Amino acid sequence: MLPSDNVIALERGHYRLRAQIGGSVYGTVWRAAAPAGRPDVALKLVNEAQMALAQPDLRERWIASACNEIAFLRALAPWDSHHIVRLVDSGWHAGLPVLALELLPTDLGRHLARRRAAGLAPDFRQALDWIGQLNQALAKVHQYGWRYLDLKPANILVDTATGTLRLTDFGTNRQLAKGDAHSYAGTAQWQAPEQFFPAAHGAYATGRHSDYFALGALFYFLVTAAPLRWSIACGQAFREHQTDGARHLLAAHAGSLPPPLAPDEAARFAAAVPPIARAAAVTLLETLLAAEPRGRPASALAISRMLGRAAVAAPAVRAGEAQAFA
């Protein structure tokens, strides 16, 4: 592991590591001091220790993922990055790609945990606002020719001063134009059926509609404070059997897919929504969580219109509540 105070040289300057703030099997994230008195950044590096142990094809995949992320963020026009984390700098260190990203205080998972522990769980109007922001972020990912494939609370950063959400971690991006199936990518707990269960040839036939399913799973989680049973089952199957978990999960359900949204879960969601907004909200949730991609909304614009119908009916946020954690 890199020591703190180590200096990483990128294209636009040198960055001094201060403290590790995140990480996974694939990479580490450090808080780093930027040059010339600029604000600290989040420095994202490929995990060197794991890279040394990985097979050549896996190493190539990790490097390609980081390079794809850099390419996507560099391609964004400034006005298109409102709900997407900003790339400050990039380059190479020890033969591996490095990203310097804007540093934000927390992610949505931790933000929600703090609010709920303090008895300030987000209300329905707040959930609608967050889903609307994420729909805009996904629309930009799709507009620039990618499918995101890893929407989850840990990949959503929160600017607590403004209430703005920003999507981060684009290493799982796959190009839309190619339209081809691909190797396993993403996080099992938040995946659409076609992203967790491989097609007959063994690859995964995803598209932008796979991102809409994850948006629906997140919508349910925000409103009910609980994950879908579908999400729990996929997550457990993957932990126990990795990608073979799909086969085990099918076997446990007599060869049929379990329903992404069970009737009692739809009822639980409806009970958590103000009555006047209930019909519009449930319709949106059920459409996002359709088992088949063709049953989901056709576009981000369609989702935006459905969100608008629910928002018009929803009561306003109580004064001061939205900024309680600013």
CA 310 to the chain's CA centroid: 23
| Structural domain contains residue 324 | no
Note the pLDDT tens digit of each residue in 268-283: 999 999 999 999 999 9
Q: What average pLDDT does this structure show over 31-46?
A: 94
Same domain, yes or no: 261 and 125: yes
Note the pLDDT tens digit of each residue in 63-100: 988 999 999 999 999 888 889 999 999 999 988 999 99
Domain CATH code at residue 180: 1.10.510.10
Q: Are 260 and 231 in contact (CB under 8 A)?
A: no
Closest CA to 104 of 29, 158, 23: 158
Predicted pLDDT of residue 323: 43
Q: What average pLDDT does this structure show over 274-302?
A: 97
Under DSSP, the state recorded for 80 is G
Same domain, yes or no: 301 and 163: yes
* pLDDT above 90 (res 321): no
Burial class (CB in 10 A: 0-12, 13-18, 19+), 188: buried
Same domain, yes or no: 188 and 289: yes
Same domain, yes or no: 98 and 112: no
Closest CA to 134 of 104, 108, 171, 162: 108
Note the pLDDT tens digit of each residue in 228-247: 999 999 999 999 999 999 99
| Structural domain contains residue 97 | yes
| Structural domain contains residue 2 | no
